[in-house]
Amino acid sequence: MATRAHTVPKFYLQGFTSTESGSRGEPFVWVGSLTTGEITRRSPKNLSIVRGFYDGQGGFAEATATIEAHLAKIESAAAVVIRTFAATRIGENAPIPQEVTRFLAWQAARTPGWMELVAQWANEGNLESTPEVVEPPPAGFEEVAVRNRPMCLEDPSTGLRRDVADADEFQGLRQKGWKWVLRQDDRLELLHMQAWYFQVRHFPRLAWARLEPSSGENFIASDRGVSWLVDGHADTPPAALRHATAEVIAPLTKKLVLMGRNTSNHSSLTPREVNARTAFSAARWIAGPTELVVEQALADRIDASPN
């Protein structure tokens, strides 16, 4: 039976729950749909669930290993550390714990909205040229095992699908317009590799700052968990994080957001501006502790570009 996977962890969403539920009521968040604008109350345990989404080996060498089991370990460690980290205050010089940075790296790579972008980018670009290598891969890349298996290609004009094992045949069909259909194994390996890149390459070189709202204000979360804008644009490839204007938004709780930039000069942003950026980069929904903060973020998201 497929695992009941939370693409945005339940423990994480509990950091954005409303105080209205009280001690006897079930915790809930206010969820705003980006497509309909509807705002509803949802329990964290019933939000962001896709069965079987992480069922597979990913990039692990052990045949019995699964991405789902690995994520459970990451979330368990992060759940404890985030509570402690959130209890510190700006000026106490508390470094970002490794458990938190690892959680954020995986959260940036693991959501359905992000994987849809990855599948889209896999079928874009100039197939006649070799991509320019801007910088060498991180240390340890040479140890990554190469797995050869047939890839699924689809003729967009007829819907015909073909399994292709030969690299030359694969490239030949791609140049004729055939689309690469990512299967579960493909998707999980890409997810695994991207999470590693976020953890060891993209996020460490950013300057990170803590953002905390004033009394009575709150931050929101989204179905992306961690997202970024580059020169005012959302949905940019991770390589764009080298750009001088890159701005990563990583909400941890309704009272704490981490922001990463390629400069140590962090200009002041209001919670409303931060929430607008979170909403602008979301795929399908946002969530927060009050109906008002979610309603405001939905209204502000179209003006979220920092340009």
Residues 6+ apart with CB under 8 A from 69: none
Instruction: Quote the DSSP letter at residue 134.
Output: -
Which ranges of 123-261 would DSSP assign to H, the alpha helix?
167-175, 184-197
Residue 296, token pair as written in the block: 């405001």
pLDDT in tens, 230-239: 998 999 999 9
Query: pLDDT exceeding 90 applies to what percent of the chain?
Result: 78
Q: What is the mean pLDDT of residues 91-102?
A: 85
DSSP string, 241-270: GGSTT-EEEEEEETTEEEEEESSS------
Residue 83, token pair as written in the block: 């509570």
Per-residue model confidence (pLDDT) at position 266: 66
CA distance 89 to 111: 29
**154: enclosing H helix or E strand:** strand 151-154
Per-residue model confidence (pLDDT) at position 2: 84
Residue 267, token pair as written in the block: 């200009």
Residue 272, token pair as written in the block: 């409303």
pLDDT in tens, 114-138: 999 999 998 886 555 555 656 788 8
Is residue 225 within 8 A of residue 238, CB to CB? The reply is no
Q: What is the mean pLDDT of residues 220-230?
A: 95
Is residue 27 within 8 A of residue 43, CB to CB? The reply is yes
Per-residue model confidence (pLDDT) at position 227: 93
